[in-house]
Amino acid sequence: MRERGDEAERVEQARIPLLRDQYEEGDIKRETWMETKKLWRIVGPAIFTRFSTFSIFVIAQAFAGHLGELELASISIVHNVIIGFNIGLLLGMASALETLCGQAFGAKKYDMLGVYMQRSWIVLFLFCTLLLPMYLFASPILKFLGQPEDIAELSGTIAVWTIPTHFAFAFYFPLSRFFQCQLKNRVVAISSGVALVVHIFVCWLFVYGLKLGVVGTMATVSVSWWLNVFILFAYATCGRCPLTWTGFSLEAFVKLWEFAKLSASSGIMLCLEYWYYRILIMMTGNLKDTKIAVDSLSICMSVNGLEMMVPLAFFAGTGVRVANELGAGNGRGARFAMIISVTESLIIGIILSVLVIFLHDQIGWIFSSSDTIIQAVNDLSILLALTILLNSIQPVLSGVAVGSGWQSFVAYVNLGCYYFVGLPLGFFMGWMFKSGVKGIWAGMILGGTGIQTLILIFIVTRCDWEKEAHKASVHVKKWSVSNSRN
């Protein structure tokens, strides 16, 4: 029986893409092609997955936008501020799995992936509970931050209906990282595609069939996200991942504090970045013509957020590839994976930036029928294109940080660049020069994203990758549950 089990394990390992396609060093064309294949096994499905999941919010926002300007502004605030703040933290915390699961997978400690995922469920669920006041007291919080009373009141009502979605994040993000780190990305892509199709139908039914209005649009978001969770959970636990899922285990409660600290540092690293442009929307709430400013900027942020699914897919792919190579003790391979990822993401970013410039007068009508809002979006198109270009580099470099386990250090970089340079510069350009939302956005791009990108480039070019590979092997042993597993 033991021999049969060993044979089954060898067969399963042979199916793992990481363990195939080995190449001889020195043939740069073949190395580039093989690394591109490995990268796009992650990036391709990840782009589709992120487009699908983000489109759930965009479609809900589009339905609300055609109900009226107040409805669009309110759901935009909830999406970009309340949900955006919490997604930034939870998504960042789940990225700890990209370090741990990625390196464990590279070191062939497959059974640890399921244990890590269960730990992440526990930690993220507890954090979701702690974050509930942001939803329950959304109206007074938004009023305190300067939002108009009518927008704050409706946003507070919508926020309560997003609580089920909030808890879905605690399970979905670890599940998606669990599959991603073992290169089973098609499963996540198919699941998100099914959820998106269901969302379109249910959204139409709730808004136009049952006449539930803007609250109905947010209720459909919860239905779609939980459907996604159930599909992935069923696939993971019903025998489709024999090496990486060995059942529920009490070992998930071991080293929870250490896991929570790593998750928190990962969360801070990413949420400081994720919150940055959400704060931009909050700052526009204090400008003249608030609804127009918030609506036009929210539309640009939705387009930027939709496009960000591409560099975020590269963020995920880079994190996994770098972690896999470091876990396998291959520092050179980790460096090469980084170079390929940055180059390919930059090429796509250039293409999309040029596309936004050419279609600058066509973007706004997707979300609104108001000529004023459409023109306001048109005026912001150049800044949108510049943001897209910078974001094609910076998230990929953050993926290198995740794969290498540098989250704590990069969190300080993000804090300094975004909040001690970018925000003050944006405030200065927006109010002192009276340039409004354009000045705020321009200052935040130049002072925050631009400087942070330059610092990350400096860090990765000075890195000793063989030394990082040695650190990764020590890291994997440290996080093993027991000596019997090593």
Lowest mean pLDDT among 14-23, 245-254, 423-432: 14-23
DSSP state of 210: S
Res 483: pLDDT: 36
Structure confidence at residue 218 (pLDDT): 83
Beta-sheet strands, E only, within 143-250: none
CA 252/CA 248 separation, integer angstroms: 8
Over residues 442-447, the mean pLDDT reads 83
C-alpha pair distances (Å), 52 with each of 189, 236, 269, 340, 392: 8, 20, 25, 25, 19
Q: What is the pLDDT of residues 16-57, one digit of tens each?
A: 544 444 444 557 888 888 888 888 888 888 889 888 888 888
User: What would the two tokens of residue 462 be?
Assistant: 């000075």
Tokens at 305, concatenated: 């957020």
- The arithmetic mean of pLDDT across residues 75-85, rounded, is 79
Which whole-number Å values give the CA distances from 97 to 56, 111, 316, 431, in the listed order?
A: 24, 14, 11, 41
Residue 5 pLDDT class (50, 70, 90 cuts)? very low
Length of the chain: 486
CB atoms within 10 A of CB 210: 11
Q: How far apart are the first and last CA of the chain?
A: 23
User: Which tens digits make up the pLDDT trace of 127-146?
Assistant: 899 999 999 999 998 888 77
Return the minimum-mean-pLDDT range out of 2-11, 144-153, 223-232, 336-345.
2-11
Q: Give the CB-side neighbour count of residue 268, counting CA atoms within 13 A.
A: 17
d(CA 90, CA 87): 5
- Token pair 């978001």 is found at 221
For the entire predicted model, the pTM comes to: 0.76
Ranges 86-90, 449-453, 481-485: which has the least confidence? 481-485
Q: Extract the tokens encoding 475.
A: 């890291």
Cβ(146)–Cβ(279) below 8 Å: no
Report the C-alpha gap between 42 and 49 in whole angstroms.
11
The predicted pLDDT at position 475 comes to 65
Q: Of 50, 342, 337, which is closest to residue 176 (Cα–Cα)?
A: 50
